[in-house]
Amino acid sequence: MTRLVSSASDVQTAINAFPAAVRGCHMRIREMILSVADELDAGPLEETLKWGQPAYLNTRRRTGTTLRLGYTSDTPVQAAIYVHCQTTLIRDFRLRQDEDLAFDGNRGLMLDPDKPLPEGPLRAFISQALTYHRNKKAHG
């Protein structure tokens, strides 16, 4: 099972500050991140805050890239899962997806918190993020 190194009180405070619909969406995504990390043996993960947002990063160096949970202040509010903008994750993910997904430039995947999560694509995205550097080295 993936071990989670956590600054839980800070992270939980940040999650509690999210709008209710986004908070529920992010709790499901958080569970998905932990589940995928476990399946990939990509952990342990550190749960911390980056830019005031919950962030999940591999503690094994050069394995994956950080995943951050945020939301837009636009109307309607959208949940977001962000990666480092200098990775190729969003670009590559767009090319492989035939589902109607929304993106924020080269840094994020946007989700409607009032709709069911696109579990298959989201799990694939999380998997690619958690193994980004490891896979880059293997194919590189």
Q: What is the pLDDT of residues 4-53, one digit of tens each?
A: 666 667 888 999 999 998 999 999 999 999 999 989 887 789 999 998 99
- Rounded to whole angstroms, the Cα distance separating 30 from 11 reads 11
Given a cut of 60, whether residue 124 has pLDDT beyond it is yes
Structure tokens at 77: 């509010």
Give me the residue spans of the domains in the chain: 4-135
Crossing angle for the helix pair 89-96 and 119-130, to the nearest 10 degrees: 150
Burial of 29 from C-beta contacts in 10 A (0-12 / 13-18 / 19+): buried
Domain 4-135, what architecture? Alpha-Beta Complex (3.90)
